[in-house]
Structure 1
Amino acid sequence: MRTRHTHNPQPVLRGIAACALLTAAAAAAPAQAQASSQGEAEAIVLRPLSFFKVNDLEFGDIIASGTAGTVTLRPDGSRAATGGVTLAGAGGEPARFAGLGSFNRQVNISLGSNTIWITGPGTRMRVRTFEIGSTPTAVLSTSPTRFRIASALGNYNFPVGATLEVGANQAPGDYSGTFTITLNYL
C-alpha cells in the first residue's frame, strides 16, 4: 500500500515561489548511432516574505494486516510502525517547505487543521500529530508556533512529519489528501 499527502501551503503573505529543477537524459550510444531525449526545466523566483512547498509528505510503502496500526514519519525522515502495520522498503519522506524572509525576523507557523483524512480505494485514513523539524522538534497545531529566521540571507526551510492511522485490512492502493500550513511574518 502506498500513502501520499499533497500539501498546499497558504501563507498570509504569499509571493511567487517554486523550486529550481533541471532534468535531462541522454543515452550513451556508439559513434554511428544517434539518439535524443527531452528534458524539463523549471525555475522559481522568490519574493521576500514568501514560502513554498519543496516536497510532499510521503509515508512510503506499507503493508496492512488484520490488525490496525500506525506509521509515524518523523521530520528527520525516520519511520516507525505500530500494531499490524509493516514498513516495506526504505520509502517515505517528510514534507519540506522553504521560504525567504529577513534575518532575525519572527514567523508564526500553524496548521489549518490538527487532523486530516486521506482517501483512496478503501476506508479513509486519518493523519494526525503533525510535527515540525525544529530544534527541538515541536508538534504543530492550529495555534501558532513561533520561530526566528537565523540565516543572514533570510532564507529558511523546515520539514514536517506526521502519524498515519492505518485500519485493519486496509485496502491496497494510493491514498492522498491535503493539509494547509500558514506562516505569518511578524
Structure 2
Amino acid sequence: MMGITRKTVVPSAVFMTAAFGCFGLAMPALADVERTQTQVGVVTRLSFIQTEELSFGQIFASNASGTITVAPNSVRSRTGGVTLTGNTHHPAVFAGFGQPNQRVQISLGSNSIFLTGPGTRMRAHTFVIGSTPTAVLTTTPRVFRIATPSGGFAFPVGATLDVNANQTPGTYRGTWTITLNYQ
C-alpha cells in the first residue's frame, strides 16, 4: 500500500538591492519553492498494488446526520446535514498485472468498515468498483476479465460514509481489505 504524498511549500527569502544615485531601487520578483515526493509502483505478474488511498475529503458536520459518497469517477456527493468543502477527495485506485483475457475475482474482507478518530466512529460502506458498468463490491467475489493486450490494468473504488450529527472535528481513519484472485 502506498502512503499519502504531501506537498510542502518552503517560502524563499525576498532580496532587495538598493543602488544610490540616479539608479533608484531594484527589487527582484518573489519566488516560492515547492518540495514534493515522487514515487513509482512496480507491479509483478499476478499481483496488484494500491496507488491511491480512498479519501472522502474535508467536510463540515452539523446537528443533522448525513452521508458522503465518493464515486469511482471522483465525483463527490452528499445527503443530509453534511457540507462539502475542498477538493482533496478521490477514490482508491489499484493497479494489477495478469494475462490478457484472464479472469480475476475481486472481493472485500468486509462489506463495511468503521473510521475512528477523536469522536464517534463513522461507517463506510457500499464500495463501488469503476468497472463498466460500475458494480458494488462485497465479500462475495465478483468476476472480471482483463481486457488489455498487455495484461496490465487499473481500477478505482469509491464508497459511502455515514456522518453522525454533531460529528467531532478531526481526522478519521479506517482500514479495509480487498482481495484479487487471478484464475
Q: Shorter-normalised TM-score: what interval? A: 0.7 to 0.9
Aligned to 2:73: 76
Q: How does 1:1-150 map to 2 (within 5 A)?
A: 42-150=39-147
Q: How does 1:172-183 map to 2 (within 5 A)?
A: 172-183=169-180
Give aligned-pair identity as a percent: 53
Q: Matched residue of 2:68: which SS? A: strand
Give the letter aligned to residue 156 of structure 1.
F
Runs of 4+ in 1 over 3 A off after TM superposition: 36-45
Structure of higher RCO (CA pairs closer than 8 Å, 6+ residues apart): 1
**Could you list the per-position Cα deviations for residues 17-51 of structure 1 after superposition, in whole angstroms to 9, with x for gaps in the alignment?**
x79x9x9x998x99xxxxx9987554443221000
* Conserved? CA contact 2:61–2:81, under 8 Å: yes
Q: Matched residue of 1:143: which SS? A: coil
Normalised by the length of structure 1, the TM-score is 0.79
Q: How many residues align?
A: 161
Partners of 1:172 and 1:37 in 2: how far apart? 29
Q: Which runs of 5+ in 1 are unaligned?
A: 1-7, 9-17, 31-35
Confirm or deny that 1:154 pairs with 2:151. Answer: yes
* Conserved? CA contact 2:41–2:51, under 8 Å: no
Give the letter aligned to residue 102 of structure 1.
Q
Normalised by the length of structure 2, the TM-score is 0.80
* Conserved? CA contact 2:41–2:49, under 8 Å: no
Tell me the CA shift for residue 101 of structure 1.
0.4
Give the letter aligned to residue 131 of structure 2.
S
Partners of 2:39 and 2:74 in 1: how far apart? 26
Q: Which runs of 5+ in 2 are unaligned?
A: 16-32
Partners of 1:127 and 1:84 in 2: how far apart? 17
The change in CA–CA distance for 1:65 and 1:42 in structure 2 (over 3 A counts) is: closer
Aligned to 1:168: 165
**Could you list the per-position Cα deviations for residues 1-28 of structure 1 after superposition, in whole angstroms to 9, with x for gaps in the alignment?**
xxxxxxx6xxxxxxxxx79x9x9x998x
**Could you list the per-position Cα deviations for residues 125-158 of structure 1 after superposition, in whole angstroms to 9, with x for gaps in the alignment?**
0001000000000000000011100110000000
Q: Matched residue of 1:178: which SS? A: coil
Give the letter aligned to residue 97 of structure 2.
L
